[in-house]
Amino acid sequence: MEAKHIDTKLFWRTLGQRAIGSTIVTARSIEGPAGFLGLSATHVCAEPPLMLVSIDQRTSALPVVLSAGHFAINFLPREASAVADLFAGKTPVKGAARFETASWTALATGAPVLTNALAAMDCKLEESLQRHGISIIIGRVVDVLIGEGRPLVHFRGGYLE
């Protein structure tokens, strides 16, 4: 069987066919907080509890995550679509100013955690791998927050109601 050429547009269109919970990945360094919309957050294993996130190496939050040595994965509630859009870069608001539009707290590592998150996993960075312009970060979960509500689901480039 001959391999089919999968271009970037087809790849993203295919991935868009899966419904996925929206997350904001955050970290805090001496310079302040940073974050991005992370649609690739997933678990690696439960023992020890490890999470994995892929980050485009051009993302301004990546150096903060790497220098801080930690990150938090915030699972977004349905009503957080405006916050998700901020961290996805869909508005002119950039950098630490993104954190001024919602209420944040911190867990063990100090990474920002959305106070109304469905859940948050606070992670210490264990490993970072680079592949084709992407950094894959793996972190050990050291603290969690569990909230309530319904998820903000990302599907076909938008949010499900």
Closest CA to 125 of 73, 58, 56, 57: 73
* Mean pLDDT, range 118-129, rounded to an integer: 97
Within-domain flag for 61: yes
Within-domain flag for 144: yes
Q: Please tell me the distance from the alpha carbon of residue 41 to that of residue 148, in angstroms, as a whole number.
A: 19
Within-domain flag for 17: no
Instruction: Say whether pLDDT at 45 is over 80.
Output: yes
Cα 140–141–142 angle (5° rounding)? 110
pTM, entire model: 0.93
Instruction: Say whether pLDDT at 69 is over 80.
Output: yes
How many domains is the chain partitioned into structurally?
A: 1
Cα 33–104–108 angle (5° rounding)? 75
Q: Quick check: helix, strand or coil at residue 68?
A: helix
Within-domain flag for 3: no
Dump pLDDT digits (tens) for 72-118: 999 999 999 999 999 998 999 999 999 998 999 999 999 999 999 99
Predicted pLDDT at 11 = 82
Predicted pLDDT at 53 = 97
Within-domain flag for 11: no
The CA distances from residue 3 to 6, 124, in Å, are 9, 39
Within-domain flag for 161: no
Structure tokens at 142: 């050291």
Predicted pLDDT at 77 = 97
Show the domain range for 27: 22-155
- Whether the CB-CB separation of 106 and 113 falls below 8 Å is answered with yes
The CATH number of residue 38's host domain is 2.30.110.10
Within-domain flag for 62: yes
Mean pLDDT score across all residues of the chain: 93
